[in-house]
Structure 1
Amino acid sequence: MKEAINPPKSSTPKAFLLSLILLSLFYLIFLSLQPKNSNSRNRNITINDLRIRPGYTSYDAYINHQLHKTTDPKLRKIWTSRDWDRKIRVFAQFFSQLKQEKLLSNSSKALCVGARMGQEVEALKRVGVNDSIGLDLVPYPPIVIKGDFHHQPFDDKTFDFEFSNVFDHALYPDKFVGEIERTLKPSGICVLHVAVFRRPDKYSANDLYSIEPLKKLFNGSDLIRSRKVDGFGLDTEVVFRKRK
């Protein structure tokens, strides 16, 4: 009687798996060599119309970058001499119009966020809003105190009015806005000057392409209006009222 001959084990499953791995590898290499689609790249940059600029390795690196401009002795001299009266006059015009619209009054307790040398604060005082203070990484006593706008050193519901033209310097826009809404009283007013149609300077931490992201970030406030302005490189004024 002849012995049964066992057929050799098939290597088909292993060969199939190896082929599948090789095909996947070749496909990935092929994709990596393809030119990136420009439309896709643009969508990534402008997603939600707010782009955070890359390049900061840590929060300390971001702060040091901001301080490089704020502590520059040449710039500080310009801000307190040649630019001082000119900026105060322009800010005073903006604030006077807000008073006419009943969005600001002499009795308002006001904060200027990212005020540097305090031209905005001085402008508020000149139009009659005497209870005004500024906040910046570098203080300029007595009108600007030291503080980080991502973590305002004030209690909840402190201010009736907050103004800022440094939204583009916020590395965390949600925290920037959250702190404004936290420290505003119910029905308090926030006015931002932002760059939508122009690109800010090299110290900006984000780029804004419409006011839609601001409307989403100010989720505890209502948009009152927006308009085009000419505010030292910033082109759009946006006004919000905090809900009760």
Structure 2
Amino acid sequence: MKDMNVSSKPSMTISKCIFFGILITIPILLFLSHKNSSSAIVTTTTTSSNSDTDLKIRPGYATYDSYIQRQLNKTLNPKLRKIWTTRDWDRKIQVFSKFFNELKNRKLLLESSKVLCIGARMGQEVEALKRVGVSDSVGMDLVPYPPLVVKGDFHNQPFDDANFDLEFSNVFDHALFPEKFVSEIERTLKPGGVCVLHVALSRRADKYSANDLYSVEPLKKLFKRSELIHTRTVDGFGLDTEVVFRKKR
């Protein structure tokens, strides 16, 4: 009997160790399971939010004034201004005339339309409009170029509400505040008015750009008071996509 009692003690000790080991292991497994579930949730959330990264604002502007000054550095560059008014003048007018004639053929632009060209620099767009029969048109840029272009900031247009039938721009990439850029277009467009944007989706814009656009989806979200009419591929001085919205009546 004595020998039997002695041999049973190690067996009882092992059983206790196994029992306590299981008790300790269960909470650890539950913790790890919960952690993995949390990680999966975070990963899913991060993936779904990537759709909002199709419009990225470039860093490097400490103040709005520094942003404006950088834009002015390009617009006032004497070498560029000479190119815009000589070598590029007729070529750009021909290309813009083609674009505007296509808009006329689709009945989006009429000869009676009142048109604003945003970021028009030297006014080639305005001259092109006049050549296709749309005489009531004006350009807007930080630096005026009379009589084709008046002074204005596209983040805060100097025009009344519901003033234009059509607004055209190929400088969306220069907007530091895209939502303000779009809201000003929608403010100054008449109900039923059309906005035509030329943007770059397949390549990055120049060093003076303030944002990078990777799809049309951010534009659809920004135009809260308008509906998308169509998109198409174009070849417009480095810009590859035409996006057209109509302001709801």
Which TM-score band applies after superposition, normalised by the shorter structure?
0.7 to 0.9
Equivalent pairs, count = 205
Aligned partners of 1:206 and 1:47: how far apart in 2?
A: 13
- Residue among 53, 56, 59 paired with 1:54: 59
Give the unaligned 5+ runs of structure 1. 1-39
- The alpha-carbon distance between structure 1 residues 201 and 44, as it changes in their structure 2 partners (threshold 3 A), is farther
- Cα-to-partner distance string for 1:179-201 (whole Å, 9 max, x where unaligned): 00000000000000001111100
SS at match of 2:158: coil
Aligned partners of 1:78 and 1:67: how far apart in 2?
A: 16
| Alignment partner of 1:65 is 2:70 | yes
Partner residue of 1:148? 153
Partner residue of 1:197? 202
Aligned partners of 1:140 and 1:121: how far apart in 2?
A: 11
Aligned partners of 1:46 and 1:113: how far apart in 2?
A: 28
Aligned partners of 2:195 and 2:106: how far apart in 1?
A: 14
Contact 2:168 2:195 in 1 (8 A): yes
Partner residue of 1:120? 125
| Alignment partner of 1:242 is 2:232 | no
| Alignment partner of 1:179 is 2:145 | no
Partner residue of 2:9? none
Contact 2:119 2:171 in 1 (8 A): yes
Q: CA deviation at 1:47?
A: 3.4
Residue 100 of structure 1 aligns with an amino acid whose one-letter code is N
- Residue among 149, 165, 171 paired with 1:166: 171
Partner residue of 1:105? 110
Contact 1:45 1:51 in 2 (8 A): no
Contact 2:52 2:218 in 1 (8 A): no
- The alpha-carbon distance between structure 1 residues 174 and 198, as it changes in their structure 2 partners (threshold 3 A), is same
Q: CA deviation at 1:41?
A: 10
- Cα-to-partner distance string for 1:87-127 (whole Å, 9 max, x where unaligned): 00000000000000000000000000000000011101110
Identity %: 73
- Cα-to-partner distance string for 1:45-103 (whole Å, 9 max, x where unaligned): 87341000011000000000000000000000000000000000000000000000000
- The alpha-carbon distance between structure 1 residues 140 and 45, as it changes in their structure 2 partners (threshold 3 A), is farther
Spell out structure 1 runs of 4+ moving beyond 4 A: 40-46
Aligned partners of 2:207 and 2:237: how far apart in 1?
A: 15
- The alpha-carbon distance between structure 1 residues 196 and 43, as it changes in their structure 2 partners (threshold 3 A), is farther
SS at match of 1:89: helix
Aligned partners of 2:242 and 2:53: how far apart in 1?
A: 19
Partner residue of 1:219? 224
SS at match of 2:228: strand
Aligned partners of 1:46 and 1:82: how far apart in 2?
A: 41
Aligned partners of 1:43 and 1:146: how far apart in 2?
A: 41
- The alpha-carbon distance between structure 1 residues 41 and 89, as it changes in their structure 2 partners (threshold 3 A), is farther
- The alpha-carbon distance between structure 1 residues 55 and 95, as it changes in their structure 2 partners (threshold 3 A), is same
SS at match of 1:238: strand
Residue 130 of structure 1 aligns with an amino acid whose one-letter code is S
- The alpha-carbon distance between structure 1 residues 203 and 46, as it changes in their structure 2 partners (threshold 3 A), is farther
- The alpha-carbon distance between structure 1 residues 216 and 46, as it changes in their structure 2 partners (threshold 3 A), is closer
Contact 1:134 1:144 in 2 (8 A): yes
| Alignment partner of 1:233 is 2:231 | no
Q: Normalising by structure 2, report the TM-score.
A: 0.80
SS at match of 2:180: helix
